[in-house]
Structure 1
Amino acid sequence: MSEVINYYNQFDEWGRLDREPIEFQVNCHYIKKYLPRTGSILDNGAGPGKYSVALAQEGYHMTLTDLTPKFVDMAKSKAKERNVEGQFDGFYEADARALSLFNSEQFDATLMLGPMYHIQQEEDRLKAIAELRRVTKRDGLVFVAFMPRVRHILTSLLNPRSWKPNDNMEAIDAFSRSGCFDHSNEGRFTGAYYFEVKDIKPFMENNGFETINFIGSNVGAILNQESWNYWEGKGEEEVRKLIGLLIERAEDPHVLGISSHLLYIGRRK
């Protein structure tokens, strides 16, 4: 996982969610829709804590973990800046596959909005999901993010020079079968795993969860900069309506494959 840490040490993840607001706003809408009104929540693999801080501002008691020390420190700073540091029960460096610092059934709900992108080995994905289940209370809710394989195939076809080695059909065909991607250019997106959309619900259900909802977090990823410039030029109200439409359409199963990120919402059995 040193590659992941090195990548995120030089990447502005907090800023990404500002620059690409649809993913954050769609996820927040559905997280708040299903979360209980009170309780203790773990944000597991939280990055710099953008979701944790937002939920702390809503009054939730949060615990935050991330693999990258820089992000843990940043989350502390962001919580302090926004006067919600007291809503956090702790900020920890931890690997999603090994959460031994927490008791079994400790949390009323658990977010895992990043780790599944980076775990390429099936054995390790199963460890991460087993730990997610272990630390979540029975009937507690989980929110798990995935990246869909078909979307990255399309992205590779659209921008082959930006997604080497997926700049030739032999490599894209191999990726289509394996779901594993390792960027050829140093400093670009770290080794990643992309799920087949059809496999996500069975994967979660076979590992101790009941599906509640499954959404496309960022269908807006299909919009290029020219499109964004057009809608932003129409004013804030028009952008608000655009995001509202994408929130509404996020539950449409037909858009899952074109969304850059997916959100699984389930209940721990």
Structure 2
Amino acid sequence: MDQVERDRWIQDYYAKQFSEADRLVTRSANGQLEFVRVQQLVSARLDRHSRVLDVGGGTGVHAQWLAGTGHTVCMVDPVPEQVAIANRVSSQIQALVGDARDLQFDDESFDAVLLLGPLYHLQERGDRVRAWQEALRVLTPGGIVFGAGISRAAAALKMVFARSFRDIPAEALIDLLENGSDSKQAPTTGFPGGHHHTAVELAGEATDAGFENVVTVGIEGPAGLGLEMLAPTKALVSAGNVIADAAQSAPPIADLSPHLMSIGTKPLNTTS
């Protein structure tokens, strides 16, 4: 499957089959934990009243939170139906249809960029690095990027827990673990992945794109996979948060988190 086919799959999946807002808010304890952890990781590094671009922002869940805390927020997403929802549910954000690889914004327009959706839908490394580079271009010097990936180790373990690995060819599972790819799987109506990262790989993409001081953490932490199977409660989310915070920067443990996040800074002495 090439990226053009996958992009069509992405459009159909998010427009007709799946609610990203439900995933983060109501569906599971892990979804709520992810939402809380993203808020913690981002808010700890943002100055007040920052200009933030949320790339691949879905229906605007993160964008609405950021706008509600005093930031000026613009959101782009490739799926028109999701952009329409984002604009409908909040008058505080500007949501536009757009592609992470070709952002329609001037250089140095934002203080922070979120790449929480695009990277795991882009199967070729060149496309992912291009998305990082576009984030670098639109950031002011010293601006911060937050880029998320799906852990290949956690993805494989999730298959084992769900016993879905029985329906996947052995070479596809090997390809996932060794290369992060799911290109050997036949298209389905399920999640239109593209690429699964390791913590080291995600950081390497950000560094190669030109970011400095890159750190990579596990978002949900090692408890995330188990929490994916449980209904959300305040106690579960709180316990998962404590574990995630304690384990977030240890590379082998970070790779057990369902989602990874690389955080980097645009150098002060460059303009792109």
Q: Match of 2:177?
A: 176
Note closer, same or farther for the CA distance 1:119–1:150 as it changes in structure 2 (3 Å cut): same
> Does the Cα contact within 8 Å between 1:164 and 1:185 map onto a contact in 2?
no
Cα deviation code 1:124-182 (max 9, x no counterpart): 11221111111111110111111111222222333342x576x3433211222331115
Larger relative contact order (CA 8 Å, sep ≥ 6): 2
Q: Match of 1:69?
A: 80
> Does the Cα contact within 8 Å between 1:217 and 1:250 map onto a contact in 2?
no
1:152 aligned to 151, 155, 165, which one?
155
Query: What is the TM-score normalised by the length of structure 1?
Result: 0.86
Following the alignment from structure 2 to structure 1, what is the Cα–Cα distance between the partners of residues 227 and 73? Answer: 35
Q: Displaced runs of 4+ in structure 1, greater than 4 A? A: none
Q: 1:32, CA displacement in angstroms?
A: 0.4
Gaps of 5+ in 2: 1-6, 268-272
Following the alignment from structure 2 to structure 1, what is the Cα–Cα distance between the partners of residues 139 and 54? Answer: 11
1:221 aligns with 2:227: no
1:207 aligns with 2:213: no
Note closer, same or farther for the CA distance 1:257–1:69 as it changes in structure 2 (3 Å cut): same
1:116 aligns with 2:119: yes
Kindly provide the amino acid, as one letter, of the partner of residue 61 in structure 2: K
Aligned length: 253
Note closer, same or farther for the CA distance 1:72–1:168 as it changes in structure 2 (3 Å cut): same
Following the alignment from structure 1 to structure 2, what is the Cα–Cα distance between the partners of residues 28 and 201? Answer: 20
Gaps of 5+ in 1: 80-84
1:12-31 equivalence runs, <5 A: 12-18=19-25, 19=27, 20-31=31-42
SS of 1:140's equivalent in the other structure is strand
Following the alignment from structure 1 to structure 2, what is the Cα–Cα distance between the partners of residues 56 and 13? Answer: 18
Following the alignment from structure 1 to structure 2, what is the Cα–Cα distance between the partners of residues 164 and 179? Answer: 19
Following the alignment from structure 1 to structure 2, what is the Cα–Cα distance between the partners of residues 122 and 206? Answer: 11
> Does the Cα contact within 8 Å between 2:52 and 2:72 map onto a contact in 1?
yes
Q: 1:212, CA displacement in angstroms?
A: 4.9
SS of 1:138's equivalent in the other structure is strand
Following the alignment from structure 1 to structure 2, what is the Cα–Cα distance between the partners of residues 221 and 184? Answer: 27
What value does the CA root-mean-square deviation take over the aligned residues? Answer: 2.1
> Does the Cα contact within 8 Å between 1:201 and 1:211 map onto a contact in 2?
no
> Does the Cα contact within 8 Å between 1:164 and 1:184 map onto a contact in 2?
no
The share of aligned pairs that are identical, in percent, is: 27
Tell me which moved more, 259-268 or 202-211: 202-211
Note closer, same or farther for the CA distance 1:152–1:241 as it changes in structure 2 (3 Å cut): closer
SS of 2:258's equivalent in the other structure is coil
Following the alignment from structure 1 to structure 2, what is the Cα–Cα distance between the partners of residues 240 and 172? Answer: 30
1:72-91 equivalence runs, <5 A: 72-79=83-90, 85=91, 87-88=92-93, 90-91=94-95
Q: Match of 2:137?
A: 134
> Does the Cα contact within 8 Å between 1:156 and 1:172 map onto a contact in 2?
no
Following the alignment from structure 1 to structure 2, what is the Cα–Cα distance between the partners of residues 159 and 247? Answer: 22
SS of 1:120's equivalent in the other structure is coil
1:46-57 equivalence runs, <5 A: 46-57=57-68
Following the alignment from structure 1 to structure 2, what is the Cα–Cα distance between the partners of residues 150 and 191? Answer: 14
> Does the Cα contact within 8 Å between 1:211 and 1:264 map onto a contact in 2?
no
1:93-108 equivalence runs, <5 A: 93-99=97-103, 101-108=104-111
Kindly provide the amino acid, as one letter, of the partner of residue 266 in structure 2: R
SS of 1:262's equivalent in the other structure is strand
SS of 1:258's equivalent in the other structure is coil
1:263 aligned to 261, 264, 267, which one?
261
Cα deviation code 1:25-81 (max 9, x no counterpart): 0011110000111221101110111000001110110011000001101111221xx
